[in-house]
Structure 1
Amino acid sequence: METLKALHWKLFAEGKSGIMVVLQALDAAGKDEAISFVFSNLNAQGLRTTSFGKPSETEKKHDYLWRLHDGLPARGEISLLNRSYYEEVIVKQVHNDIEDYEYPPGTKIEDVWQMRYRQLNDHEKYLVENNIHVIKFFFHVSESEQKDRLLKRMKNEDRQWEFSFNDVEEREYWDDYQKVFNDVLNNTSSSYAPWYVLPADNEWLSRAVITKVMNEKLKEINPDFPTISKDKEKELKDYIDKLEKE
């Protein structure tokens, strides 16, 4: 964890690269806990977290990636997308919840998802080519483990605020979600924006994998603290001398 913290400071100070982290899962898979455990000790100035719920009426009037932009990292930042634009090919595909004006006229509905996979791959490649790195974590939780975690939330008064009746209702589509997850992972994991599938039943192991992957990416980027230019060295020395003589 200390290594991650130190590398993040260098990333922030250097200000040349950004990292976008996608966290995708069903309810109660451990995304929020992973964010708190892995990322909470990082430099807050260089960390951005965005949660995506149902699109607003304004967002519906734009292309489906439009609302992503506020969640993109600036150079020097790590941005966390707690759920993401992948909802547009997961939830919408499970529930067949897409309007005909959201894709070109004459397109068969079965071809829409392949089209969107291509668009997402192209978008992520664009980000990487602009030195915004993309890392995607999928929390694979078992049906039985999700059930146990949801029941704990429902029975614990201090955690009932976390629970939504929709969480249980969506379990009726469990098999559909598994099929779509498999399709999405196979079609959108790339060399430049890979998916990492986490064993979400084991929270400790999931967090360890996230930390390892983040450290490896930051070491690959190899950020460093900026150094003062030669022409400023004398000026710096003069100011040091001035302060020390006060």
Structure 2
Amino acid sequence: MNKINLSDISTRAPEGMDKKAVKAVTQEIVQELDELQNLLFAEHKHAVLVVLQGMDASGKDGLIRNVLGNMNPQGVNVRGFKAPTEEEKDHDFLWRIHRFAPAKGMIHVFNRSHYEDILVQRVHKWIDDETAVKRMQAINDFERLLVEHNNTAVLKFYLHVSEEKQKERLKERMEDPHKMWKYNKNDSTEIKLRKDYLKMYEDAIEHCNDVKWIILPSDQNWYKEYVVAQTLRDTLRSFRMEYPKL
């Protein structure tokens, strides 16, 4: 693919979209997702992995709650990946990830993912470029393994948020009592590295694109939720699932 420049890509919904109408459509899709997820669980032939990557305050938590919160919790698993534990450091970098790949019948969501190991670690120079290239090759192999050997649909979203909106949301974490629990003292340090993160995201999107990325404008939550819900709905429909018969 051609080299992308995330700074040239809008972080807002396309012009002309009606917020109220889109939110109504999203709610219809969410209701349909509940039935499709039940079918997925019952038929037990396919799996879905949703990968959510983005800057701090790009809105991953709210997206998960509003799009997948209506589904049967028996068939959905959400996993966040933060700094690796000592045990995880003793294994290859994908060991902790592969354990949580979805089984057939399941939808798994990675709130941050294996991509942290070629994003955060490169920005902070904990790994060199040679190691990063090897890891990107391993990531492509890993995702291809899930797709080709376990009937797993891998949906990868980069939540593209503007610097202005990011700062606004981080400020809310210090002022809104309902959001203070999200506050992290490192937020102010990390946002100063925004340009470095964008560069590493561009590299990851360019070189780990065997399974295609969706660059998702994320300044407006209603649009972000609509795109993810629609993509997941269309993916599940494409399986042409049926309930097992006696």
Shift of 1:3: 1.8
Given the alignment of the two structures, is residue 170 of structure 1 paired with residue 190 of structure 2, yes or no? Answer: yes
Q: Which amino acid aligns with 1:167?
A: D
Please point out which of 208, 212, 222 is paired with 1:194. 212
Given the alignment of the two structures, is residue 218 of structure 1 paired with residue 236 of structure 2, yes or no? Answer: yes
Deviates further, 67-76 or 9-18? 67-76
2:6 aligns with none
Q: Equivalences for 1:127-146 in 2 at 5 Å? A: 127-130=146-149, 131-146=151-166
Given the alignment of the two structures, is residue 152 of structure 1 paired with residue 172 of structure 2, yes or no? Answer: yes
2:34 aligns with 5
Please point out which of 203, 223, 232 is paired with 1:205. 223
Q: Which amino acid aligns with 1:166?
A: N
Rounded to whole Å, the distance in 2 between the matches of 1:110 and 1:69 is 23
- CA gap of 1:211–1:158, structure 2 versus 1, over 3 A, is closer
Rounded to whole Å, the distance in 2 between the matches of 1:62 and 1:148 is 38
Larger radius of gyration: 1
Please point out which of 58, 66, 74 is paired with 1:29. 58
> Could you state the TM-score of these two structures normalised by the residue count of structure 2?
0.85
- Tell whether the 8 Å contact from 1:49 to 1:71 is kept in structure 2 after alignment: no
- Tell whether the 8 Å contact from 1:13 to 1:225 is kept in structure 2 after alignment: yes
Rounded to whole Å, the distance in 2 between the matches of 1:41 and 1:123 is 30
- The CA deviation string for residues 161-196 of structure 1, in whole angstroms up to 9 with x for no partner, is 111011111011111001111111111122xx2211
Q: Equivalences for 1:41-120 in 2 at 5 Å? A: 41-98=70-127, 109-120=128-139
Rounded to whole Å, the distance in 2 between the matches of 1:110 and 1:189 is 18
Higher relative contact order (CA 8 A, sep 6+): 2
SS where residue 201 of structure 1 aligns?
coil
Rounded to whole Å, the distance in 1 between the matches of 2:47 and 2:177 is 39
> Could you state the TM-score of these two structures normalised by the residue count of structure 1?
0.85
2:204 aligns with 184
- The CA deviation string for residues 65-112 of structure 1, in whole angstroms up to 9 with x for no partner, is 0001332111100000110010000001111113xxxxxxxxxx3322
- 5+ unaligned residues in a row in structure 2: which ranges? 1-29
Q: Which amino acid aligns with 1:119?
A: A
- Tell whether the 8 Å contact from 2:31 to 2:70 is kept in structure 1 after alignment: no
Q: Which amino acid aligns with 1:114?
A: V
* 4+ runs deviating over 2 angstroms: 109-112
